[in-house]
Structure 1
């Protein structure tokens, strides 16, 4: 029920998650689900509590980005950065590593450290020519920081890349295929909303 409701009715999804927690509170995935629905409803303090419990039960850091964002949500960007830095990023799945970079960048923005927010996004997964499942969010985050820095032309280019990647990924299974985005002309990207060309390659 949570999976069915989370996008359209997060409050009701949260009620279902809480009901599950009353019956199976020692199951990691249940506590994780409560955390996710609490986060979706803006209850960041509860999300943090549940995420810590989930982490203790499961021993997993796969929700570390949500923990960082929840610390931001309760007004502790400094603590958010501490939480993010305490994790060995080399042990994280790629998707989680990218989510963490975006969350850390957001914490830097909260502190007014805009240049450092941009540096947080300078990660190997930031490939402007190829689109993976994490690329649209990463490209868009970079665009937002560049906009804050007053680098509007670069921001527009990265926002365009985010849109192209999202459109391309919407037409394929990103877990099986790699999207190669060709011919993103920087001037054209800034002046036109016409879609750039794209093609797909099977990833081995």
Structure 2
């Protein structure tokens, strides 16, 4: 078995989110510790060095290929390095093991990545959106909109984004991406002015959410060119494996307080080297 990437001594299993650690309890103590450290490294480097994050995910999979969070992490890191075929295989395995649709948007985008936008739409339509967590539902809408653009259907791409969460006056954790997606579609449609308004809303929402902990504070934005923050608010969102996705992702509770944004329209988107016995299932 090839040696995995080095994990610094200061990285321990405690650096992995508790929900993810719970999934490793079926492993021996020493194996669980090492797998957790590799997963923690994947979470740590997914943004700044996705290739290294992917190496750590693959190292974890070689020791714990039957654990859902491990396969999910391989999928996410594979997507990050552009290996969409591997991402799809791992996402299907994660879904089969866990029974969850947390990564349905990533499945849709991975189908797009391998050049199958029609199949991407089929995958997205096959789930009950009402049963999805709000952030997952928004991510799915964005992915479905992208698939419509791939098919040269900008009008229908815009329709995919017409969801209740598209509130131009309130910024939730998912708002910047949703607003920016709408701006991109409007630009594709040739409505440059409206696209600029939605992109501006995306920028304001991102600034407001990045300035404070969205779990505890409501932010009033009185001017579109600046974000006013309550002096008592001073926090940052956590990055890591969240409770529901158990994967490398930004964690912000989408059910708590949101930032209120006032924007004038004139100012205003090779399979892993893990357990080979799972490979046959992946090809199903």
TM above 0.5 = yes
How far off its partner does 1:173 sit?
1.6
How far off its partner does 1:172 sit?
1.5
Runs of 4+ displaced beyond 6 Å = none
Partner of 2:58: 18
Could you say which structure has the larger radius of gyration?
Answer: 2
Aligned counterpart for 2:92 among listed residues 42, 52, 55: 52
Partner of 1:199: none
Distance 2:98 2:183 in 1: 35
Aligned counterpart for 1:179 among listed residues 229, 237, 259: 259
2:49 matches 1:9: yes
Distance 1:42 1:76 in 2: 15
- Aligned pairs, number: 188
Provide the secondary structure at the position in 2 that maps to 1:188.
Answer: coil
Distance 2:135 2:260 in 1: 18
Whether contact under 8 Å (1:39, 1:70) holds in the other structure is yes
Unaligned 5+ segments in structure 1 are 190-204
Distance 2:44 2:106 in 1: 21
Q: How does 1:34-49 map to 2 (within 5 A)?
A: 34-49=74-89
How far off its partner does 1:98 sit?
0.1
How far off its partner does 1:171 sit?
1.2
Whether contact under 8 Å (2:197, 2:267) holds in the other structure is no
Partner of 2:267: 188
Whether contact under 8 Å (2:200, 2:267) holds in the other structure is no
Partner of 2:201: 161
Q: How does 1:189-204 map to 2 (within 5 A)?
A: 189=268
2:220 matches 1:140: no
Q: How does 1:7-156 map to 2 (within 5 A)?
A: 7-156=47-196
Distance 1:56 1:89 in 2: 18
Residues 14-38 of structure 1, C-alpha deviations (whole Å, 9 max, x = no match):
0110010010000000000000000
Which one has the bigger helix percentage? 1
Structure possessing the higher relative contact order (Cα contacts under 8 Å, 6 or more residues apart) = 2
Partner of 1:193: none
Provide the secondary structure at the position in 1 that maps to 2:74.
Answer: helix
How far off its partner does 1:174 sit?
2.0
How far off its partner does 1:4 sit?
1.2
Residues 130-164 of structure 1, C-alpha deviations (whole Å, 9 max, x = no match):
00000000000000000000001100000000000
How far off its partner does 1:95 sit?
0.2
Distance 1:152 1:180 in 2: 25
What CA RMSD, in Å, does the superposition of the two structures yield over aligned residues?
0.7
Provide the secondary structure at the position in 2 that maps to 1:180.
Answer: strand
